[in-house]
Structure 1
Amino acid sequence: MTPGLPLWGRRSVSPTRRSARRPLARRRVPRAAALALLMVSATACSADTLDEWSRGGMPVGVTKQADTVQSLWNGSWIAALATGVVVWGLILWSVAFHRKKKHSKEELPPQVRYNLPIEILYTVVPIIMVGVFFFFTARDQDYVNVVSGTPDVKVKVEGFQWSWRFTSEYNGKTAQVVGTPVADYTQGPQLVLPMGKKVEFDLNSPDVIHSFWVPAFLFKRDVIPGVTNKFEIDTLNKPGVYAGRCAELCGVDHSRMLFSVKLVTPAEYDQYIASQAGAQ
């Protein structure tokens, strides 16, 4: 009985209560683990899901540069997961083998604050990891930012509040598309590009900062007033229509600043550019 408390305020503690909780927890943990495994297995059955996992949730790339970005992304995740496994393993190992024992004395575990080899290890290893990340990032960034100056197609991109103007030059012919704010990218201006060609983009804006983003390029670049930003892509043989949007908050109708990019065969592109040039 607890001294100093009235009878109605005293609580008896059953000596079997703790022992009754432990078997219950032991039963629940395996069931929860089995349920988690079942859910993971169920979400990884289709080829589409496996493909999404292999891309790390990134969209399908339609340029050679996108393949480079995807490889860098995958490598970064692999390194991060490997580091996570090591850290989680050390945490679990400490929990399992260095927890406080029953009836143990109130003592600190062995301290390693002055262990020189360990301190060198956790200083040198992160430096090496950062150096490796820096090397591959700098290498791939240099490749993605290359502008040859001899593209097959040159596209002048003008972002304005709140749509886009695309002016394409190909074989001495020019085609222009001007859009208006829309609720769906399929209704916005469409930039048509040929597959298997080198395309240069020159971006500028007459009003505020915008950002030209095509998720399938795995790349975006700011469109800045008074500055002409450039980048170049090599399109792959993946025909289709791909969404594009402004990725920089630029005003009231920013969310409606949508467009699409359509990849077609070179023959179809010849017909398109000739029809657009003739209509002007």
Structure 2
Amino acid sequence: MNRNPVSGSPRKRMRQHLIRAVGLGGAGLLLTGCTDYQERGFLPKGVTELSPQITDFWVATWAWALAVGVLVWALIFWCMARYRRKKTDTGLPPQVAYHVPIEILFTVVPILMVAVLFGKTVEIENKMLDTAQKPDVTVNVVGKQWSWDFNYVDAKVYDTGTQAVLDGKPGAEATIPTLYLPVNKRVEFVLTARDVIHNFWVIQFLQKMDMVPGRVNKFQVTPTEIGTYKGKCAELCGAYHSQMLFNVKVVSEADYAKHIQSLKDRGYNGFLSNSMARKGSTFTPGEQQYLPAGLTQNDVVEGAK
């Protein structure tokens, strides 16, 4: 009697369905193709000089992790199929306990893999945290609940922000403070906090750092693309943490100079103190301190060296 090719043992039907599913999935991936976003490992597009290296490291890490995962799962399924219990089996299959070569392999290979990953991580982190070069622009970013102040140290002007008004109404974007940076110039961020721990994160810079009260942290980037980029606090800092937003405008040198001059014309000359204070988030032109005590401009500049 002829049998339907799909019929047969449950194991055979399951194998056929699995092969069909894998084939359809592979065909779907080929037809869909890879977008730039997928090729970056679902990272945002980086816009700094170091972004390509960060992205390449991220993608390579996931690629090697996927390769190891596929190998491990393949070995698991192979063992399940190769050494499955048969009806004729009356006891346990042959054991490989205390197989010294295999145990050495399973110990040495993971250690080497972790060592390589650790070494490459340290290498890219050292590049991200390298502040040995003299920056073209130094900006002291001050975090506060729940907004940002920007001291343009070299130009001796400042800009101050208030908490964003996110009420869903038109014009909300105008309430978000904006940091201006010149394109293709090395910028050093000197990070301080006025109240609690915050975190300075410009998403497309692919880099962020904590801002700790009483401590000066710093890192450098070189923005390579003109545009407006989103920034936010990446450390839970209180009730309105989600509204602690800012924009970064990377502009030409001429437009950067115009912005600095506009701050001077508005009377925003001097340096906002980094003093510890948890009161209002606004300044009036010419006001340069919350409290007499705290980090001064000299403290910040010295910390940036």
TM-score normalised according to structure 2 size: 0.77
Q: Is structure 2 residue 266 aligned with structure 1 residue 279?
A: yes
State whether residues 185 and 243 of structure 1, in contact with CA within 8 Å, keep that contact through their aligned partners in structure 2. no
Match of 1:37 in 2: 26
Name the one with the larger helix percent.
1
Cα distance, 1:41 vs. partner? Answer: 3.9
Match of 2:292 in 1: none
Match of 1:66 in 2: 51
Secondary structure, in 3 states, of the residue corresponding to 1:64? coil
Match of 2:177 in 1: 189
Distance 1:39 1:161, change over 3 A: same
Cα distance, 1:222 vs. partner? Answer: 0.7
Secondary structure, in 3 states, of the residue corresponding to 2:153? strand
Match of 1:118 in 2: 102
Cα distance, 1:22 vs. partner? Answer: 5.6
Cα distance, 1:21 vs. partner? Answer: 4.8
Q: Is structure 2 residue 39 aligned with structure 1 residue 54?
A: yes
**Comparing 174-183 with 243-252, which one deviates more in the overlay?**
174-183
Match of 2:60 in 1: 75
Q: Which amino acid aligns with 2:132?
A: S
Distance 1:28 1:133 in 2: 38
Task: Please give the per-residue CA displacement for 1:66-91, whole angstroms capped at 9, x wherever unaligned.
Answer: 33322221221122112112112211
Distance 1:146 1:39, change over 3 A: same
Distance 1:106 1:265 in 2: 79
Secondary structure, in 3 states, of the residue corresponding to 2:29? helix
Larger Rg: 1
State whether residues 244 and 260 of structure 1, in contact with CA within 8 Å, keep that contact through their aligned partners in structure 2. yes
Match of 2:162 in 1: 179
Secondary structure, in 3 states, of the residue corresponding to 1:147? coil
After superposition, residues 165-244 of structure 1 pair within 5 angstroms as 165-170=149-154, 172-183=155-166, 187-236=175-224, 238-244=225-231
Which of 251, 272, 281 is residue 264 of structure 1 equivalent to? 251
Q: Which amino acid aligns with 2:129?
A: N
Q: Which amino acid aligns with 1:37?
A: G
Distance 1:61 1:150, change over 3 A: same
Match of 1:132 in 2: 116
Paired-residue identity, %: 42
Q: Which amino acid aligns with 1:279?
A: R
The count of corresponding residues between Structure 1 and Structure 2 is: 256
Task: Please give the per-residue CA displacement for 1:169-199, whole angstroms capped at 9, x wherever unaligned.
Answer: 34x4524242323326664111111110010
Match of 2:300 in 1: none
Distance 1:109 1:24 in 2: 27
Secondary structure, in 3 states, of the residue corresponding to 2:109? helix
Cα distance, 1:230 vs. partner? Answer: 0.9
Could you list the runs of 5+ residues in structure 2 that have no partner in the other structure?
Answer: 1-6, 167-171, 268-305
Could you list the runs of 5+ residues in structure 1 that have no partner in the other structure?
Answer: 1-17
